[in-house]
């Protein structure tokens, strides 16, 4: 799964990198420990324009009774994203890109109860384009006057060869050549879209072990992605 990621690129960088037509967020602060329920930048298409907006992490389907379900739906598995009720409608019409500068995964260590966190990013330092889905929810207890809350999830797939020794899953990272098709709500060829939900090539990434400080969502700062030594088994 992808339970934490890093978002440090400025709004200006994201606008340039993802060819944004409309910006709906202010200049953002760097976040080295993005946790579920935080509102983070999201790229989607609205009325034919590519938009950068601020959206809550943890998808809440329109039919949900309350927001709490979102904390359980921060990731959508590629294998079931077209059939699971929470995601299948969004997969057809509400696809998005989640910009990220890297992400964390945790390795189970033999003989230790504590997992070792690793930081993974692109070798060239460019922002990653996670495949995401978004939804709009309003509180049914309030009715039609309730504020609309937009939420998103990150699609995950099997790990590539680089990540597989530390974790079995990774986010789907979309190649730039497929961004237009992925974001286009008019493109609804489910079989063609599912073919994009594969592990990104290992040679595009680098990774290193980091401090367990990242385990606590309240911890924040560039020290979270600094390399640390790992004791040999």
Domain boundary assignment for the chain: 5-225
How much is the pLDDT for 109? 85
In this structure, are strands 116-122 and 102-107 parallel, antiparallel, or unpaired? antiparallel
pTM (predicted TM-score): 0.95
Q: For residues 153-168, give the mean pLDDT.
A: 97
Sort 164 into a burial class: Cβ within 10 Å, 0-12 / 13-18 / 19+: middle
Q: What percent of the chain has pLDDT over 70?
A: 99
Determine the Cα–Cα distance for residues 187 and 181; give it in Å rounded to an integer. 7
Nearest CA among 87, 104, 85, 107 for reference residue 95: 87
Question: H helices of the chain, where?
Answer: 11-17, 88-93, 179-183, 190-194
How much is the pLDDT for 205? 98
Q: Which residues pair with 154 in a beta bridge?
A: 75, 132
Residue 177 has pLDDT above 80, yes or no: yes
Domain 5-225: top CATH class:
alpha beta
- Residue numbers annotated as active site: 2, 105
Cβ atoms of residues 162 and 207 within 8 Å: yes
Residue 231 has pLDDT above 70, yes or no: no
Cβ atoms of residues 7 and 28 within 8 Å: yes
The torsion angles phi and psi of 159, rounded to 5 degrees, stand at: -70, 150
DSSP 36: T
Which residues contact residue 1 at a Cβ distance below 8 angstroms, ignoring those fewer than 6 apart?
74, 75, 156, 169
Neighbours of 57 (CB within 10 A): 23
Name which of 62-71, 95-104, 182-191, 196-205 the model is least confident about.
62-71
How much is the pLDDT for 198? 97
In whole numbers, what is the pLDDT of the chain averaged over residues? 94
Computed over its alpha carbons, how large is the radius of gyration of the chain?
17
């Amino acid at each position: 799964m992808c339970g934490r990621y890093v978002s440090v690129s400025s709004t200006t960088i994201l606008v340039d990198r993802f060819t944004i037509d409309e910006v709906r967020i202010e200049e953002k602060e760097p976040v080295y420990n993005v946790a579920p329920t935080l509102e983070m930048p999201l790229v989607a298409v609205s009325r034919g324009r590519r938009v950068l907006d601020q959206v809550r992490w943890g998808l809440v389907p329109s039919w949900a009774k309350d927001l709490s379900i979102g904390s359980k739906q921060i990731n959508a598995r590629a294998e079931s994203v077209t059939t699971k009720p929470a995601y299948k409608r969004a997969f057809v019409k509400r696809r998005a890109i989640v910009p990220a500068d890297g992400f964390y995964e945790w390795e189970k260590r033999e003989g230790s109860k504590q997992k070792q966190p690793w930081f993974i990013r692109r070798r060239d330092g460019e922002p990653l384009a996670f495949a995401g889905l978004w939804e709009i929810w309003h509180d049914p207890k309030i009715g039609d006057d309730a504020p609309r809350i937009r939420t998103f999830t990150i699609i995950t797939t099997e790990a590539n060869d680089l990540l597989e020794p530390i974790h079995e899953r990774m986010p789907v990272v979309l190649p730039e050549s497929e961004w237009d098709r992925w974001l286009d709500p008019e493109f609804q060829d489910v079989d063609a879209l599912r073919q994009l939900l594969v592990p990104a090539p290992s040679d595009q990434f680098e990774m290193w072990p980091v401090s367990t400080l990242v385990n606590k969502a309240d911890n924040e700062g560039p020290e979270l992605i600094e390399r640390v030594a790992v004791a040999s088994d």
